[in-house]
Amino acid sequence: MKIGVIGFQGDVEEHLGILKRIGEESGNVEPLRVKNRDQLKDVSGIILPGGESTTIFKLIKEYGIYEDIISMVRNGTPLMGTCAGIILSAARTNDARVDGMGLLDIEIERNGYGRQAQSFIDDVEIKGIGNYMAVFIRAPIIKSVNHGEILAYHDGKPVMVRDGNVLGLTFHPELTDDTRIHEYFIGMIGGEGGVSTGTNGEGVIVK
């Protein structure tokens, strides 16, 4: 199966790298950098990466794939949004420069923890995955979840939410060597054979 990473800005290579590792182990995953409509129509799952939400929003609108992503996801294609990606996926972004896609019925606040100096790494407990070392970089804060299941909290705040075929995280799973969240997403697509090549605790390497 082809999994498309929206490839204009942000942690694109990091997501592609994790998907490549999983694909090499399972033989079932082909990562694809997506920058146009023809590439997008070939994928079975979509990743909106972390980065600068205003820049990614501007470029996916400019290249004509904003509405296509919405249409595909509403028709069943799984999507994972990480950091900036969850902002773009949200119904309410609290940012006049970014029209949320409304794929997750949440309200979110950009840079909710503060600027770069307030970035941090901490363990979170994820339902169905277990303990996970999460990297928060200029992370947004989920202010409310109006529909869907909260899979993880940090200090009482939701940090990972799933609603059907849409998965949103305020942290960066692509910045460690732990593949379990990407494997979870592959499971959402219907893929079998995602092999856990990452670690699950003390030994996680932050890139």
Residue 194, both tokens: 């995602």
For residues 133-172, one letter each, b for 16 or more C-beta atoms within 10 angstroms of the residue's C-beta and e for the rest, the string is bbbbbbbbbbeebeebeebbebeeebbbbbbebbbbbbbb
Q: Report, in this order, helix, strand and coil percent for the chain, each rounded to 5.
A: 30, 30, 40
Contact 34, 79 (CB under 8 A): no
User: Active site includes 147?
Assistant: no
Q: Give the active site residue among 14, 83, 154, 182.
A: 83
User: Active site includes 14?
Assistant: no
**Which is nearest to 133 in space by CA: 191, 175, 162?**
175
Q: Give the active site residue among 14, 15, 174, 182.
A: 174
Q: Give the active site residue among 15, 172, 182, 183.
A: 172
User: Active site includes 172?
Assistant: yes
Residues belonging to the active site: 83, 172, 174
